[in-house]
Amino acid sequence: MPSMLETFSDKMKRINKLPELRTKIFYTLMMFLVARIGTHIPSPGVDIERLTSMVDTSDILGFINMFSGGAFTKISIFALGVMPYINASIVFQLLTVILPKLEEIQKEGDSGRQKISQWTRYLTIFIGAIQGFGVTMWLQSMGLVRNPGFLFVFTTVTILTAGTVFLMWLGEQITVNGIGNGISLIIFLNIIARMPAGIIQTIQKISEDKFFLFKGIFLIIVAALIIAGIVLFQLAQRKIPIQYAGKGFSGQNSIASRTYLPLKINTAGVIPIIFASVLLMMPSMLVKVLPASDMKIILERMFSTTHPVYLTLYAALVIFFTFFYTAIMFDPEKVAENLKKSGGTVPGIRPGLDTVVYLEKVVTRITLGGALYLAAIAIVPMVIFGIFNIPAFLSGTGLLIMVGVALDTVQQIDAHLVMKDYEGFMS
């Protein structure tokens, strides 16, 4: 059995021999560099030092800062990150299910999807402007602006909205010309970028405790178990046996082949976690803009990342988006129809409607398991790390996004390598 290092070295050599794949990876890395440079270009007129200290002491602001890769503490041109784009995507995915007209447009093929993508971009600009306005109002209300007024608001909202649009374009370019899902990779990059500072901050916090060694070992074990659980569930599959009928040499029907229909336990990947996290940031940001009052204090507590209300809403949204996104990605009727056309059947299940019912039953059951797993991975570590006052990037959410996106990207690279191997056999 080859070692992990030998396997990695072999794959790197194979990648290096494929100019197309090598170009895609290089392009993605260059786009990463552009995205990171943008986080260090600040928007003018903000007291960065005071803002940084406020972010360090706030769970929600720290969470927002994690998704922006540290851009929020500088109010850089990428301070909003890709959150407006994700919110716009959520809106249109929900509307596609609710409005039959949008569903018809989506089923038109590439032209329909391009229309919806274009409308999503327009909505991203609108949402980005609203969120940018909310951020500027909050900055002024907290006294973090040197020269508050209309000019500051107009300039900052324009800069933040333009930054979001540029990041959206960057993500789309990575998806088309690079490797992996561009938007997910940008979020992955932002979380990774916060790791060094987060690790130092974590060490500083737990080093003040007399049980420093015990806490350090405990956190390492918890993080390792979370990563192991993520990898296990992300790669787990339910294999449904499929047999195909064919013709023998005598002209009689015979069993030509038997294979499997792989159904991932977590078909939705990291999308439910990203959607739920970003969606819950919106009320938290709105609360920050409210004038000081007892109600504001209550709402701030409710939407802190360790409050039962926040955790319950978070788990509910993760479960909802897991089922919702799985329903979009997997269509039992289409799968059953394709099986019937190709002569494939599930042993013991009649083709057609019975196969649809069976697939729906199986998918619902494994999706429930996947949804509960995602909710547990997101919530349990958040509670544990919240007790130890650990930065957000080490939460289940941060780890799940990092590991999940990394696995998806590696699988895409593997798919390119496998496809090239098959081409080599055919040539």
Give pLDDT tens digits for 87-102: 898 888 888 878 888 8
Considering 7-11, 31-35, 323-327, 421-425, the range whose residues carry the highest mean pLDDT is 31-35
* Beta partners for residue 259, in sequence order: 242
CATH 3.40.50.1970 fits 1-193, yes or no: no
Nearest alpha-carbon partner for 222 in 27, 390, 368, 339: 390
Query: Distance between CA atoms of 427 and 414, rounded to whole angstroms?
Result: 20
Asked if pLDDT for residue 21 goes beyond 80, the answer is yes
- CATH topology identical between 1-193 and 203-427: yes
CATH 1.10.3370.10 fits 203-427, yes or no: yes
Nearest alpha-carbon partner for 266 in 370, 161, 340, 189: 370
Query: Distance between CA atoms of 381 and 104, rounded to whole angstroms?
Result: 41
| Alpha-carbon distances, residue 197 vs 191, 194, 205, 332 (angstroms) | 11, 6, 12, 46
Lowest mean pLDDT among 81-90, 288-297, 351-360: 288-297
Asked if pLDDT for residue 250 goes beyond 70, the answer is no
Query: Distance between CA atoms of 410 and 394, rounded to whole angstroms?
Result: 22
Q: Maximum CA pair distance of the chain? A: 89
- The owner of tokens 């049980």 is 211
Q: Where are the domains of the chain?
A: 1-193, 203-427
Lowest mean pLDDT among 42-51, 175-184, 334-343, 386-395: 386-395
Q: What is the pLDDT of residue 415?
A: 78
Q: Are 141 and 289 in contact (CB under 8 A)?
A: yes
Nearest alpha-carbon partner for 43 in 155, 134, 127, 140: 155
Crossing angle of helices 271-289/308-329, nearest 10°?
Answer: 140
Comparison of pLDDT for 270 and 420, the residue scoring more = 270
> Radius of gyration (Cα) for the chain, nearest Å?
24
